[in-house]
Amino acid sequence: MVSARKYRPDTFESVVGQLGVVSTLRNALKLGQVAHAYLFCGPRGVGKTTCARILAKAVNCSSLSPEGDPCNQCDSCRGFNEGRSLNIFEQDAASNNSVDDIRALIEQLRYVPQNGKRNVYIIDEVHMLSTAAFNAFLKTLEEPPAHALFILATTEKHKLPATILSRCQKFDFRRIQVNEIADHLAHIAQAETITTERDALQLIAIKADGGMRDALSIFDQMVNFGGRKVTYRNVLENLAILDYDEFIALTEHLLKQDHAAALLHLQKILDAGHELGSVQTGLVEHFRNLLVAQSTATTDLLELADEVKARYMDLAQRIDPSFLLGAFHLASEAESKLRNSSQPRLHTELLLIKLCHLPSVIQLADSAGKK
C-alpha cells in the first residue's frame, strides 16, 4: 500500500499542518455545536478530505476522546475504518455533477441513520457541480434534516456561488510548511526502517509545494529508486532538480562580469539534461532567496536546509542590493517571456549577458546621478 494511504491520518491528532482547523473542529465536537454544513477549501493534498472523513467518523463515535478525537474502537468507528459504514456517503462532484445526481442525494435524506447519530454527506470537488445542481441543492443545504451533515471540499472556492458560501461554515486549509512535511516523512521513514538524509526530505517537501499527498508520492518514488535509501543526490537526479550549487556558481560568474564563463556554465547545465525553463525559473527563485537572505530578520522565509541557508546568507552579504533587485527584475521578466520566445536558448543567453554587465550599468547610473 502506498504511503499516502497507509499513513493517512485517522484522528485529528495525526493531521499535519492544520492546527487552526483541527482545534476548531475538536472544540465543536466537545461542545456539541457541530454545524449542519462545512466547506473545506485549500490546495490539493493538504488534508481537506482527510479531515472531512475524521469529522464524519467523530460525529458518530460513541466514545469520543476528551480531546475530541474518534476512538477508532467503537462499532461505528470500526465500521468506517473497514469501509462498511452506512452513515457516511462520499460523492465526487467531478464525475457526478448533474442536477439528477443532487436530486438523488437529496432523496437519501429521507432515511434516518440505521446506527449512529447522523448521516454525513461528503462532496469532493464541489465547485464542479453544474449551475442547475447548485440551485437544486440550495434549500436543502440551508435547512437539512437534523440527522444530516454536509461537508463540501474544493480546491477552487472562488468558483462557488455566493449562495452556497453563505450557507456553510468555511475553513481555509493552508499549504503545509516544508519542515512539517520533512518531519512527517522522517517519522514514516523511521517506522519503515528507511535510511534518509534530512536535506533529501526537505527537497522533497519543497518539490511537493505544500501538499502532503504529493510529498508522500515522491517519497515512495525515491524509496524505490534508491533501494530503501533516500539521499539528496538521488532526489536531485530522479526529479531533475537543479542543485543550488549550480546557481551559486553561476552567480559567482555574474559578479565577476565573466559572460563567457556564465554561458559555458549554462551549457554544462543543459548537457546534464535540464531544460531552459527550469534554469530561468530557478534563477528567479535564486535571486529571491538572495534578497531574503540579506537581512537576518527575513531568513526564516527561506525554506532551505540549514547548510544551504548558511551559504545563501554568506553569498548575499557580498552582493550589492541594487544588483540583486535588478537581477530579480530581469530574471522575472525573462521567465514570463520565455514561453512565447521563438529562440529560447538565445533568450536565456541574452539574460545571462545582461546580468553579467548589470554591475557596470548600476555603476554608470550612480556616477551619472552624482553629477
3-state SS class at 47: coil
Could you tell me if 199 and 232 are in contact, meaning their C-beta atoms sit under 8 angstroms apart?
Answer: yes
Q: pLDDT tens, 83-98?
A: 888 888 888 888 888 8
pLDDT of the residue at 39: 93
Per the CB < 8 A criterion, the answer to whether 232 and 200 are in contact is yes
The dihedral formed by the CA atoms of 220, 225, 230 and 233, expressed in degrees to the nearest 10: -130
Give the burial string for 25-43 (b: 16+ CB within 10 Å, else e).
bbebbeeeebebbbbbbbe
Helix axes 358-370, 344-356, angle to 10 degrees: 40
DSSP state of 123: E
The pLDDT value recorded for residue 85 is 80
Residue 298's nearest CA partner among 283, 308, 284, 288 is 288
Q: What CA–CA distance (Å, rounded) separates 105 from 119? A: 12
Residue segments in the chain with a per-residue pLDDT below the cut of 70: 365-371
Q: What is the pLDDT of residue 366?
A: 63
Separation between Cα atoms, residue 58 and residue 64, nearest integer Å: 7
Partnered with residue 89 across adjacent β-strands are 121
Instruction: Fill in the amino acid letter for 55.
Output: L
CB of 54 within 8 A of CB of 70? yes
pLDDT attached to residue 340? 81
CATH 3.40.50.300 in the chain is located at 3-172
In the chain, CATH 1.20.272.10 covers 244-361
Count, in order, helices (H) and strands (E) of the chain.
18, 7
Q: Which CATH number fits domain 244-361: 1.10.40.30, 3.40.50.2000, 1.10.15.40, 1.20.272.10?
A: 1.20.272.10
CB 240 within 8 A of CB 203: no
pLDDT at 172: 92
Nearest to 355 by CA among 294, 273, 284: 284
Question: pLDDT at position 371, please?
Answer: 56
What contacts 345, CB < 8 A, 6 or more positions away? 276
Quick check: 156 and 192 in contact, CB under 8 A?
Answer: no
Kindly report, as residue ranges, where domains of CATH 1.10.8.60 are found in the chain.
178-239
Question: Is residue 141 within 8 Å of residue 37, measured between CB atoms?
Answer: yes
Buried b (16+ CB within 10 A) or exposed e, 45-61: bbbbbbbbbbbbbbbbb
Q: Crossing angle, helix 306-316 and helix 276-293, to 10 degrees? A: 70
Contact by Cβ (8 Å): 21, 153? no
Residue 113 CB-density burial (10 A; 0-12 exposed, 13-18 middle, 19+ buried): middle
pLDDT of residue 369: 62
The class that CATH gives domain 178-239 is: mainly alpha
Asked whether 255 and 319 are in contact (CB, 8 A), the reply is yes
Whole-angstrom distance, CA of residue 260 vs CA of residue 142: 67
- So what CATH class is 3-172? alpha beta
Give Cα separations from 359 to 287, 291, 323, 356, 363 (angstroms): 15, 16, 6, 7, 6
- Give 9's DSSP letter: -
